[in-house]
């Protein structure tokens, strides 16, 4: 029998995730409706804010963010700078990019100031079912949470793995996606590690592995690119977004997004460090090259490359990014069946408030890129998404009809009285 505790069984707004996107949404929402704490609940397996984000930054030993100081979850654009006034060297030039330690403290301060600690339920959402109106969220703790509105504000997607890496037989820990690598826990002295990927994550992993005494081969499918941000800064404002929003062809918008992100790149300081390690002989930067096949033989990886060369290595790390595709969101399968929607390149076509057609499900992060633009998965994109979603959550004229709300309340009431 499900719990009969009303607070854990029914809520107005359920947010799936408790990372930067969710934190941005909730602070912007409470800025407009300060008394809405009891109407919001967030679902995250950790039961706390920013846990996955912090774990990944520490695991990859990322010392500072790639985003400037003005991009953060607080509705006050100067909030981060005010906290930094008491810090020594809180930013990295140019554009005052905050250190990881400062950003973590800033987010903790946000949670304290906005009284958000009690809003996170320690459970994973296993399925979202449409009640029309409203939703039932089946949780990993065996309970079901009824919600009038739902916001999907999870991470960037699922790991993107190259075809040659699938189905390989190997000992545990010898082939990992970057999200599985925990540098502080590893002893790598004397090992050879092949890292695949031309983005900033591969650079951080390479630096961390060399620091631990490993010899690193960093393989990129094209020449290494130096770029301060992961997209042109013009995508943060009207320079590019105006034309993007005026484009009525969704396929064309998808092409804009692909061209803007255009694979991975290194920040100038990280690429400088990598090239220094190349000169020292502790790192090989193998550019314009890809792995064709790999096999675990004689206790090592035997690797064949597209340029005809062969490599041996103790570990293979895949810093190959994430795939963002709405069909990968298995928890939304019941919603997709009841409310089919169109997608382009895996990205759903939502309304102007980032709402799923036919129901009160809202989407943030990379999945909202067709509406928000190429920076949808970033901190700046989180702010843009919150500015679209919050009005639909607080204005009755933008919500579903009163009759639908009455039906939802009746459905929830019946559900709470059943086993």
Model pLDDT, residue 133: 83
- Per-residue pLDDT of 271-310, as tens digits, reads 999 999 999 999 999 999 999 999 999 999 999 999 999 9
Model pLDDT, residue 414: 52
- Tokens read off for 86: 């008491």
- Per-residue pLDDT of 7-34, as tens digits, reads 348 999 999 999 999 999 999 999 999 9
Domains and their CATH numbers in the chain: 6-158+323-416 (3.50.50.60), 160-230+265-320 (3.50.50.60)
- Per-residue pLDDT of 233-249, as tens digits, reads 999 999 999 999 999 99
In DSSP terms, 219 is beta-bridged to 196, 286
Token pair 């320079």 in the structure block, residue? 239
Q: Place 231 in a pLDDT band, splitting at 50, 70 and 90.
A: very high
- Tokens read off for 125: 């959402």
Q: Place 419 in a pLDDT band, splitting at 50, 70 and 90.
A: very low
Would the pLDDT of 201 be above 50? yes
- Per-residue pLDDT of 61-108, as tens digits, reads 999 999 999 999 999 999 999 999 999 999 999 999 999 999 999 999
The beta strands (E) that lie in 178-290 are given as 192-196, 215-219, 283-286
Q: Place 413 in a pLDDT band, splitting at 50, 70 and 90.
A: low
- In sequence order, which residues have a C-beta less than 8 Å from that of residue 157 and are 6 or more positions away? 322, 323, 324, 325, 328, 366
Average pLDDT for the chain = 93
- In sequence order, which residues have a C-beta less than 8 Å from that of residue 35 and are 6 or more positions away? none
- Tokens read off for 359: 């129901």
The answer to whether the CB of 221 falls within 8 A of the CB of 290 is yes
- Tokens read off for 127: 């399925």
- Per-residue pLDDT of 158-183, as tens digits, reads 999 999 999 999 999 999 999 999 99
- Tokens read off for 137: 């969220």
CA–CA separation, 367 and 8 (whole Å): 28
- Per-residue pLDDT of 341-357, as tens digits, reads 999 999 999 999 999 99
Would the pLDDT of 415 be above 50? no
Question: Could you tell me whether strands 10-16 and 215-219 are parallel, antiparallel, or unpaired per DSSP bridges?
Answer: unpaired
Token pair 């109407």 in the structure block, residue? 39
Would the pLDDT of 154 be above 90? no
CA–CA separation, 94 and 97 (whole Å): 7
The answer to whether the CB of 289 falls within 8 A of the CB of 307 is yes
Report pTM: 0.93
Burial class (CB in 10 A: 0-12, 13-18, 19+), 78: exposed
CA–CA separation, 6 and 276 (whole Å): 60
Element spanning 159, H or E: strand 158-159
Model pLDDT, residue 157: 87
The beta strands (E) that lie in 226-380 are given as 283-286, 291-297, 300-305, 310-313, 315-318, 322-323, 343-344, 347-348, 361-363
CA–CA separation, 12 and 21 (whole Å): 19
CA–CA separation, 228 and 69 (whole Å): 14
The answer to whether the CB of 42 falls within 8 A of the CB of 22 is yes
Residue 317 CA to its chain's centroid (Å):
20
Burial class (CB in 10 A: 0-12, 13-18, 19+), 115: exposed
Concatenate the DSSP letters of all residues of 34-86 into one string.
TT-GGGEEEEETTSSTTHHHHHHHHHTT--B-SS-TT-SSSSSTTHHHHHHTT
């Amino acid at each position: 029998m499900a719990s009969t505790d009303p607070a854990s069984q029914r809520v107005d707004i359920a947010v799936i995730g408790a990372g930067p996107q969710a934190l941005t949404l909730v602070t912007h929402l409470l800025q407009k409706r300060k008394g809405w704490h009891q109407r919001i609940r967030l679902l995250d397996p950790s039961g706390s804010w920013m846990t996955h984000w912090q774990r990944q930054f520490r695991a990859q030993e990322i010392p500072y963010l790639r985003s400037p100081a003005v991009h953060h979850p607080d509705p006050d654009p100067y909030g981060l700078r005010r906290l930094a006034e008491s810090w020594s060297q809180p930013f990295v030039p140019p554009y005052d990019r905050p250190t990881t330690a400062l950003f973590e403290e800033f987010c903790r301060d946000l949670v304290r100031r906005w009284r958000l600690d009690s809003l996170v339920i320690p459970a994973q959402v296993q399925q979202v079912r449409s009640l029309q109106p409203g939703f039932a969220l089946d949780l990993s703790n065996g309970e079901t949470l009824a919600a009038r509105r739902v916001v999907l504000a999870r991470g960037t997607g699922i790991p993107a793995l190259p075809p040659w890496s699938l189905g390989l037989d190997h000992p545990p820990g010898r082939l990992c996606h970057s999200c599985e690598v925990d540098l502080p826990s590893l002893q790598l002295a004397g090992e050879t590690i092949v890292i695949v990927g031309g983005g900033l994550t591969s650079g951080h992993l390479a630096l961390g592995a060399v620091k631990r005494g490993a010899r690193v081969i960093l393989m990129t499918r094209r020449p290494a690119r130096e770029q301060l941000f992961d997209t042109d800064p013009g995508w943060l404002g009207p320079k590019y977004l105006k034309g993007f929003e005026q484009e009525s062809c969704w396929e064309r918008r998808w092409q804009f997004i692909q061209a803007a992100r255009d694979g991975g790149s290194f920040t100038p300081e990280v690429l400088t460090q990598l090239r220094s390690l190349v000169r020292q002989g502790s790192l090989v930067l193998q550019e314009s090259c890809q792995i064709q096949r790999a096999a675990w033989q004689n206790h090592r990886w035997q690797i064949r490359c597209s340029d005809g060369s062969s490599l041996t290595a103790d570990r293979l790390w895949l810093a190959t990014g994430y795939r963002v595709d709405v069909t990968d969101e298995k928890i939304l399968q019941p919603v997709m069946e009841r409310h089919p929607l169109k997608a382009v390149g895996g990205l759903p076509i939502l309304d102007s408030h980032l709402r799923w057609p036919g129901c009160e499900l809202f989407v943030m992060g990379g999945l909202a890129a067709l509406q928000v633009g190429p920076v949808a998965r970033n901190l700046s994109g989180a702010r843009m998404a919150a500015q679209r979603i919050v009005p639909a959550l607080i204005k009755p004229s933008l919500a579903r009809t009163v009759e639908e709300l009455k039906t939802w309340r009746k459905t929830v009431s019946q559900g709470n009285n059943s086993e």
